[in-house]
Amino acid sequence: MPREGVNIHEYQGKALFREEGVAVQEGVHCTTVDQALEAYDSLGSKIVAVKSQIHAGGRGKGNLYCPDTGDLQMEGGVKIALSRDEVETYSKNILGNILVTKQSGPEGKMVNNLYIEAGCEIAHEYYLALLVDREKDAILVMASTEGGVDIEEVAETTPQAIHKAWTDSSGKLPTGADSAMADSLGLTGVSKDSFKEMLGRLVSMFVSRDCSMVEINPLVRAGDGAMIALDSKISFDDNASFRHPWRAEMRDMSEEEEVEIRANKSGLSYVKLDGNIGCLVNGAGLAMASMDVIKLYGGEPANFLDIGGGANKESITTAFGIILEDPNVEGILVNIFGGIIRCDMVARSIIDASREVGLSVPLVVRFSGTNHEEGRDVLEESSLEVTTVGTLADGAQAIVAATVGVDA
């Protein structure tokens, strides 16, 4: 399942599971091949799993590529090693290479972290996830006997194989819901007890740590009947980060888009896209609508950018800089509906920013709302080359026309 919120690696998730008393196998986090071999020796398990650590899912079915040549290095980002030699081979093929999975995007992710985990005798693989159900205003627990496979596929083909339960608003499952879920998974005896205990701990962890998603795929029933979390995919609600200072240490900056972090620091919300028309808009909905209308009139948006309600000259200059860093950008549409933000302030900021960043692509500005006439006057009286328009449709058409025929 794709993630929402602040993500952590599997090895970090498993450390949390250990703290919370959720059963996991012994494992060691490594960043070098030597460490991986030491880990193998220390685990004392003949069979181990050698697991690439990136935030995107689908690692097992992903492929590793050499970052320099682009050659295929190895198929599968999660390997079962039956010997010390295999641990060495797999670790070499993983560390420092690019892992491309279904969820990583075609550019993939450089693997800098590895997790070596003791092997486990598997009687059956299950699926278990906790997430926020926005329609029911509750935490949803989903479980299935079809573990180790893509849950979206299960949902598509055999929805009856997915069992669901919801917490109340305080984050507690109704009495008996854990037993009922264990029954529907066909668990009995020690496995049922083990599952109920794990589910209880996961629900309380979800609440106490402000998670937005916890997914265990697969959750396994071991040979002795115990339930073990063989994977962990945990995301946190970023809005609650203020009460969880421990999260800061878990952040892996190499997994985040540097430009998006930089935008965020200036109060901007930015997402890079593949088109050639940059957008600078106030408000998330209007920013999306601006992208949509550009596309509607035959253009391709280069980004989503919401300058936010507290925008000022500095943040608008940063915004222009970020848009123009993208070499694909051949024109910019500014769409501002002034409310608290005044269009004349934005106009002056645009003029300053264009000088500062050396604006050289066509610029179309649409102002509406607070001080839109003053804003237009400021732009028209300046030496800046700019087309001013009255509506979003006119703006989109003007910027599309101005960028058509420009070489990519």
Cite the active site residues.
Answer: 127, 215
Q: Which of 68, 107, 137, 249 binds other proteins (CB under 8 A)?
A: 137
Q: Which of 34, 41, 168, 325 binds other proteins (CB under 8 A)?
A: 168
Distances in Å between the alpha carbon of 403 and those of 146, 207, 303, 327, 398?
A: 50, 50, 15, 14, 9
Between CA 316 and CA 344 the distance in angstroms is 13
What is the smallest separation between the CB atom of 43 and other proteins, expressed in angstroms? 34
Between CA 181 and CA 103 the distance in angstroms is 29
Return the sign of the alpha-carbon dihedral for residues 253, 259, 265, 271: negative
Q: Which of 44, 69, 243, 405 binds other proteins (CB under 8 A)?
A: 243
Q: Please check whether residue 203 is in contact with residue 175, taking contact to mean a CB–CB distance below 8 angstroms.
A: no
- Would you say 92 or 172 has its CB closer to other proteins? 172
Between CA 395 and CA 290 the distance in angstroms is 9
Residues 262-301 that bind other proteins (CB under 8 A): 269, 271, 273, 281-289, 291-296, 301
Binding mask 332-351 for other proteins (x = CB under 8 A): -----xxxx-----------
Token reading at 69: 């040549």
CA atoms within 13 A on the CB side of 340: 8
Token reading at 384: 């800046």
Interaction of residue 212 with other proteins, rule CB under 8 A? yes
**391-395: long-range contacts (C-beta < 8 A, 24 or more apart)?**
391/366, 392/289, 392/290, 392/293, 392/335, 392/366, 393/293, 393/297, 394/366, 395/290, 395/293, 395/333, 395/335, 395/364, 395/365, 395/366
- Would you say 38 or 337 has its CB closer to other proteins? 337
Window contacting other proteins (CB under 8 A); options: 91-99, 205-213, 219-227, 377-385: 205-213
- Would you say 71 or 156 has its CB closer to other proteins? 156
What is the smallest separation between the CB atom of 47 and other proteins, expressed in angstroms? 33
Label the pairing between strands 162-166 and 138-144: antiparallel
What is the smallest separation between the CB atom of 5 and other proteins, expressed in angstroms? 9
What is the smallest separation between the CB atom of 299 and other proteins, expressed in angstroms? 10
- Would you say 45 or 328 has its CB closer to other proteins? 328
In DSSP terms, 366 is beta-bridged to 335, 389
What is the smallest separation between the CB atom of 133 and other proteins, expressed in angstroms? 9
- Tokens 């090693």 locate to 81
Residues 357-396 that bind other proteins (CB under 8 A): 368-370, 391-394
- Would you say 153 or 385 has its CB closer to other proteins? 153
Q: Please check whether residue 333 is in contact with residue 301, taking contact to mean a CB–CB distance below 8 angstroms.
A: no
- Would you say 63 or 103 has its CB closer to other proteins? 103
Interaction of residue 134 with other proteins, rule CB under 8 A? yes
- Give the residues lining the site for other proteins (CB under 8 A): 1-4, 103, 132, 134-135, 137-139, 152, 168-171, 207, 210, 212, 237, 239-240, 242-243, 269, 271, 273, 281-289, 291-296, 301, 304, 306, 309, 337-340, 368-370, 391-394
